[in-house]
């Protein structure tokens, strides 16, 4: 039982330290560019991607929107 308490305490301390680190560094928590959001038919990750200029899907959508206008 002591091992469980020590292990649990270490995990709690590490999670608190990570949370404090995010708050102190004043950085946003960001999603990834891809993963399940990049599957065709679902809302893509292009809106949150840091490299929007390289997103082929976004360029294709913009071209189509301009052609429809």
Decide which of 62 and 29 is more confident.
62
Mean of the per-residue pLDDT values for the chain? 75
**Residue 11: pLDDT over 90:** yes
Tokens of 56: 């082929």
What pLDDT does 68 receive? 80
């Amino acid at each position: 039982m002591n091992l469980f308490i020590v292990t649990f305490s270490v995990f709690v301390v590490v999670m608190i330290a990570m949370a404090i680190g995010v708050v102190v560094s004043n950085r946003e928590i960001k999603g990834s560019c891809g993963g399940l959001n990049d599957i065709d038919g679902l809302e893509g990750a292009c809106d949150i991607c840091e490299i929007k200029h390289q997103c082929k899907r976004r360029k294709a959508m913009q071209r189509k929107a301009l052609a429809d206008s």
